[in-house]
A and B are shown apart, each in its own frame.
Chain A
Amino acid sequence: MLNALDKELLKTIAELDKLPQGAYHIRKNGKTLSRATTANINIETNEKENGITVTIAPGTVNESVHIPVILNQGGLNDVVYNTFIVGEDANVTIIAGCGIQCAGPESQGHEGIHEFHIKRGARVKYIEKHYAGGYGSGKRTMNPTTKVFLEENAQVEMELTQLGGVDEANRVNEAVLGPGSSLLVTERVMTDGDQKAASHNKIILEGDDSRSNMVSRSVIKGKSRQDFYASMVAKARSFGHIECDAIIMDNGTNETIPSLRAEHPDAELSHEASIGKIAGDQLMKLMSMGATYEEAVNTIIQGFLR
């Protein structure tokens, strides 16, 4: 059912050597390849038949859902709408990811729109990895969108990673936070050659005592370009922080615009942004411990994107 290339892609994007434990749904070239549900986690094709709805029962703990997408059919632009409903007090990990293997001259793309409804007190860790490979000349695009709605005291941690090979990416993340809820987003993007990536983020702190931290780490190699926009809007007594750092390795370009807006006197918002080359003192330190220049650069970049 899974061929060797599929397996390799799955390993890269979901760290899977074989079919995962627990609930999963594997989508290949726009169709369901394989699925499994558990007593607490249901996965169904949605009404419009353009995606899936994952429903996690209240109180489900220590379970995970894998929903990888793989593409290796030239000329296909796969658009998928997935909805996640995480029941009250559940505590689960959701692992998504998309791998494109491009062998020919035709473009291939994936647009995944993921909507999350996190009920009261639920905790979710969401991990999304994007990777494209193959020797074909076709353009590989990925435009992931996440929309997250957090009810009272919900906690969400999102790790969004684009490791390489994606020619064009337009990432959109939106979140609305209810009272006492918290959201931590870490986005890591590495681009090279002529690749372009843009990330648009909007986080609305709607409930009292909601908290959010958005961290972005960009590594820009070759002549690639990355743009990062993040805006945080506080409508209640809340706390928000944006931290975006970019390392430019060669001749890339980067634009970083964090924006903060407070509509409440007790909002506490802050941001830090930096763009620059690899720091000289970090290189010197590693080289003075015996690392070569190349090893030192690798160590710094790996740490930065960790």
Chain B
Amino acid sequence: MLELKNLSFSVVERDEDHHEQQLDIIKDMSYTFKKGKFYAITGPNGSGKTTLSKLIMGINKQTSGGVYFEGNDITHLSITERAKAGIAYSFQHPARFKGITFRDLLAIASKTDDEEKLLKIVRRVGICPLSFLDKPVDSTLSGGEIKKIELATTIARNPKLAIYDEPDTGIDLWTITPMVALLKREQVENKTTTIVVSHNRSFLEAADEILIFNHGEIIYEGDLKKALPILADFRICNFKPCPEGEKDAQCFR
């Protein structure tokens, strides 16, 4: 239902000596996501997970390659057009507004401001109390609260393809399990093709397919069992101690 064809995203950066240097963040990626399946994308920080999500939503513009959604070429469609086609994205770092409430966002997402319908959505999502409706989506929200609201606005759109970028960051222990169950339920009941970017084992266990990213490439696709040794391996290489006297920040990555 979603096909990435040789998709690349690069930026040009200038170093201290003003030499231009091309950074390839997503490298010639090709992959087909199948309708109604649940995917988990994981991989080290900086491996390109968010960049790819934003390429699919149209927030990032690809350097080359194409994106096909339900057989249609959407490579050159805007964010709004992709949203209307049925793609939704929950941001890793959701925007905070001034003077805009959860109710306002839900009304835009669900195209209704009918009180009963809005309450029904909040109940269906389950993880936000009804009292959230009139909360301003501003800097006063806690990190977990804003992630719950972000997730709710994605579900409220009834998307064909839902991408959740680390929905579990800042979420308390008691909400993780219901959140996983909620996304599974949406997948099963509404046939929502679901992509969750996460480092959390609960999401990896819920997924039909695991993708592991490293340096802008998919280095693994398959089930969790065979993914585990690779993930364990990452753990080792990501925490290797810095050589004595090493001041290079790269080392801490």
Contacts and interface: CB of A to CB of B under 8 A. Distances in A.
Interface of A: 217, 245, 279, 281-282, 284-293, 299-300, 302-306
20 contacts: A279-B95, A281-B91, A281-B93, A282-B97, A285-B91, A286-B108, A287-B80, A288-B57, A288-B83, A288-B88, A289-B105, A289-B109, A290-B157, A299-B100, A299-B108, A300-B97, A303-B98, A303-B104, A304-B98, A304-B99
A94 B100 CA distance: 26
A128 B69 CA distance: 51
B59 A290 contact: no
Given A290-B84, A300-B100, A284 B108 contact: no
B89 interface: yes
Contacts of A305: 99
A303 B57 contact: no
Contacts of A299: 100, 104, 108
Nearest to B163: A288
A300 B109 CA distance: 15
**Interface size class of chain B, counting residues whose CB lies under 8 Å from the partner chain:** 20 to 34
A214 to B, nearest CB: 16
B79 interface: yes
A290 B100 contact: no
B192 interface: no
Given A304-B99, A306-B99, 19 more contacts: A245-B98, A279-B95, A281-B95, A284-B95, A285-B91, A285-B94, A285-B95, A285-B105, A286-B108, A287-B78, A287-B80, A288-B59, A289-B88, A289-B157, A292-B80, A293-B80, A303-B97, A303-B98, A303-B100
A261 B80 CA distance: 48
A304 B171 CA distance: 28
Contacts of B94: 285
Of B57, B80, B84, B105, chain A has the most CB atoms within 10 Å of the CB of B80
Interface in B62-103: 78-80, 83-84, 88-89, 91, 93-95, 97-100
A289 to B, nearest CB: 5
B79 A287 contact: yes
B88 A291 contact: no
Nearest to A290: B83
A300 B137 CA distance: 12
B42 interface: no
A288 B108 contact: no
Of B94, B100, B109, B153, chain A has the most CB atoms within 10 Å of the CB of B100
A288 B81 CA distance: 9
B87 to A, nearest CB: 8
